[in-house]
Amino acid sequence: MQREDIMARARAIAAKLGKAGVSVPSASATPATPGSASLPPKPVAASKPSNGTKEEVLAALPDKDEISRRVAEARRLVANANTQAALSSNPYISAPLQGKKKVPVAPEVTVPQGTGLKMKAHPLLLDSVGTTAGGSGQSKSSTSKKDRFKPMAPKFASTRANARIAPSGGGGSGLTAEPVKANPYTTAARSGGGASAAGSGFEGVPKERVGRKLQFNTKGKYIAQGNQMRNQAQIEALKQRVAASAQKAGLESNFDVVERSFRREAPPEAEWWDKTLLPNKTYDDIANGIENLNIRNADSVINIYIQHPIPLPPPGEKLKTEPKPLKLTTKEQKKLRKQRRAAEQQDHQDRVRMGLIPPDPPKVRMSNMVRVLTNEAVLDPTKLEARIRREVQARRNDHEKANLERKLTAEQRAEKLETKRLEDERKGLFAALFRIKKLSDPAHQFKVSKNALQNGLTGLCIINPNVSVVYVEGGSKGMKHYTRLLEHRVDWTQGARKRDEDGNEAEEGDEEDGDDKVMASKSNSTAVDMDGNAISLEDNRCDVLWQGLISEHTFSGFKTVRAPTDNLAREQLGSKLASWWDTAKNWKAPDEEYE
């Protein structure tokens, strides 16, 4: 009975395959086994007849409709498998139900994958047909039952995801966008402008124009401005007339000096380092193009050669002092002298013994005459005494002659001093500026000039009724002596003493009357200016305004000049040092009270 059922099934399968155009071998040719009864028979293609025609071959092939049906069935199965895999990985997507048994059937679409973190999109970002939120796709199967399976709204920042979820019973898409609010940080929102400004939200939108009220000028406003301008013009004209008259007379006021000291010159048309590169010596040549400048032509100062400037040592290296030898005590100095003289005497005796030099004659004196010349002293003592006196005098003359030969002449002494001064200046050239309140006394003038020459200094002394300036330059040694002289040794409050007809200073006891003594004591603290007026020296003083290193001499010697005006004083100092005069004139001592 079981065999018959199997054979019936086999015949049914063979009939179906026959309709599809597949030939199946007979049952007698291939015996059925219990193990192979449950499996469908393996389709075998019909063998090609040896002498078949084209129509017979085409009739043996399967039908096109059957092939299309099978392909559609395969695609459906593949889509269903993909959908089941997507549902298992994304729990937010609920599959639609179909049939009486409510079997979930996934839509035939693939879920778009995220690109950033390789994650799937959130269901709220997808429509029912799989399009992104806000797309053009419409839901074809949206029913009221969908609200049951709608997931909760996400809690991340997204305009579309945070939209309100509306019930789907109204037939809408289920999402309603919130109204767009104006940006409160724009200019239009802050200013509360019109509809155009508020709607655009762009801060470049012009504000609404606000009308202004009329403002009338008060009476006499422009008359006062005109009077002020006329007064200013009169003051300027008066200043020009005063400056012209002062220039003719050689006088200048203090405010003009201060104003000129702070006034700057106008910039030149071209700097000196750029003039060689500009054809017309102006910066307007740059507008014509760089090819017209003297940069890459024959007249240019720029070439392939490199100029290496000569390195100059800094002035500070010349001031390095050499290490001094160890200072010996008096006892050690005497010991060294004794040893040196003993060595020289021993060397002299050795030369005499070897016959290189003749022996020294005996130094006979009156005290050792009898001990040295015993026999001759007994025979003729008078003759021996006269000979001894001649020898002593000859030795004295030789000694004085040797001293005169070693003594330097006046020219040699001056040359030696000049050599020392130049050697001192090679170590570093210094300069100093002194301000003397009153330099009308002749004794003070003599000390200033004479000591500058004796110390080998160069510079200038300017005597002015208001203030006097002394500028000196030279070596460190001479500058040190001269600075100490002017600051400490000279008593600037003590004037010159009275002198007699021969030019000698009068002593204090020469005055006979008491009134003369009083007048003499008063004359010590007074002096006579250039106009012959007596001035007091009680508040006279000398201050050092500046000291420092310089590179070269400005003056070849030291001289004293009288400059009654400021212009003459600046001319004497020169263009480089003219500012020193203004500095000295406007300077105030720290202990003095400013006016």
Q: What is the CATH number of the domain that holds 474?
A: 3.30.70.100
Query: Has residue 286 been placed in a domain?
Result: no
Q: What residues does 462 pair with on adjacent strands?
A: 469, 561
531 and 438 in one domain?
Answer: yes
397 SS3 class: helix
Query: Has residue 284 been placed in a domain?
Result: no
Closest CA to 107 of 137, 134, 135: 137
Query: Has residue 470 been placed in a domain?
Result: yes
Q: What residues does 561 pair with on adjacent strands?
A: 462
- Pair 133, 126: CB distance under 8 Å: yes
537 and 466 in one domain?
Answer: yes
Specify the pLDDT at position 14: 76
Rg (CA), the chain: 63
Specify the pLDDT at position 117: 55
What is the DSSP secondary-structure string of 188-219?
A: HHHHT--HHHHHH--TTSPPPP------PPPT
Domain boundary pick from 12, 35, 62? 62
Burial code (b: 16+ CB inside 10 Å, e: under 16) for 93-128 equals beebeeeeeeeeebbebebeeeeeeeebbbbbbbbb
562 and 434 in one domain?
Answer: yes
Per-residue pLDDT of the chain (595 residues; tens, 9 = 90+): 567 778 787 788 777 766 666 555 554 444 444 444 444 455 444 444 444 455 665 666 667 788 888 888 888 888 888 888 777 766 555 555 555 444 555 454 454 444 455 565 666 565 444 444 444 444 444 445 555 555 555 555 555 545 554 444 444 444 455 565 666 555 444 555 444 444 444 555 566 777 888 888 899 999 999 999 999 999 999 988 887 777 666 555 455 555 555 567 788 889 988 888 888 888 988 888 888 888 888 878 888 888 888 888 776 676 777 788 889 999 999 999 999 999 999 999 999 999 999 998 888 888 887 777 777 777 788 888 888 899 899 999 999 999 999 999 999 999 999 999 988 888 889 999 999 998 988 889 999 999 999 999 999 999 998 899 999 999 999 999 999 999 999 999 887 777 666 656 655 555 444 444 444 444 466 766 656 677 788 888 999 999 998 888 999 999 999 998 888 899 999 888 998 998 998 888 887 755 5
Domain boundary pick from 135, 154, 173? 154
Query: 582: which 2 tokens?
Result: 């203004």
Long-range pairs for 416-424: beta carbons < 8 A, 24 or more residues apart: 417/456, 418/456, 421/456, 421/474, 421/475, 421/478, 424/474, 424/475, 424/476, 424/477, 424/478
- CA distance linking residue 173 with residue 128, whole number of Å: 10
545 SS3 class: strand
Distances in whole angstroms, Cα of residue 111 to Cα of each of 146, 151, 259, 359, 509 = 19, 17, 87, 136, 133
Phi, psi of 222 (to 5 degrees): -75, -25
441 and 338 in one domain?
Answer: no
Q: What is the pTM of this model?
A: 0.44
Residue 430 host element (H or E): strand 429-436
Closest CA to 470 of 455, 495, 135, 191: 455
397 and 537 in one domain?
Answer: no
Specify the pLDDT at position 114: 47
- Pair 512, 426: CB distance under 8 Å: no
Q: What letter does residue 270 receive in the DSSP assignment?
A: S
Residue 258 sits at the vertex; the CA angle it makes with 256 and 264, to the nearest 5 degrees, is: 95
83 and 44 in one domain?
Answer: no
Phi, psi of 113 (to 5 degrees): -95, 150
Q: What residues does 543 pair with on adjacent strands?
A: 435
Query: Has residue 289 been placed in a domain?
Result: no
- CA distance linking residue 299 with residue 296, whole number of Å: 8
- Pair 102, 136: CB distance under 8 Å: no
Q: What letter does residue 254 receive in the DSSP assignment?
A: H
349 and 450 in one domain?
Answer: no
Query: 520: which 2 tokens?
Result: 């003499």
Query: Has residue 209 been placed in a domain?
Result: no
Specify the pLDDT at position 68: 85
- CA distance linking residue 282 with residue 275, whole number of Å: 7
Specify the pLDDT at position 60: 63
- CA distance linking residue 146 with residue 520, whole number of Å: 132
550 and 463 in one domain?
Answer: yes
7 and 140 in one domain?
Answer: no
Query: Has residue 247 been placed in a domain?
Result: no
Tally of domains in the chain: 4
Domain boundary pick from 16, 44, 62? 62
Query: Has residue 132 been placed in a domain?
Result: yes
486 and 350 in one domain?
Answer: no
Specify the pLDDT at position 46: 43
Residue whose tokens read 């002017």: 486
Specify the pLDDT at position 374: 72
State how beta strands 429-436 and 542-550 pair: antiparallel
224 SS3 class: helix
Domain region containing 48: 2-62
484 and 364 in one domain?
Answer: no
Specify the pLDDT at position 169: 47
Specify the pLDDT at position 433: 95
Specify the pLDDT at position 279: 87
- Pair 450, 482: CB distance under 8 Å: no
- Pair 537, 526: CB distance under 8 Å: yes
Specify the pLDDT at position 121: 62
Query: Has residue 39 been placed in a domain?
Result: yes
101 and 50 in one domain?
Answer: no
Distances in whole angstroms, Cα of residue 388 to Cα of each of 195, 279, 371, 392, 400 = 141, 96, 13, 6, 19
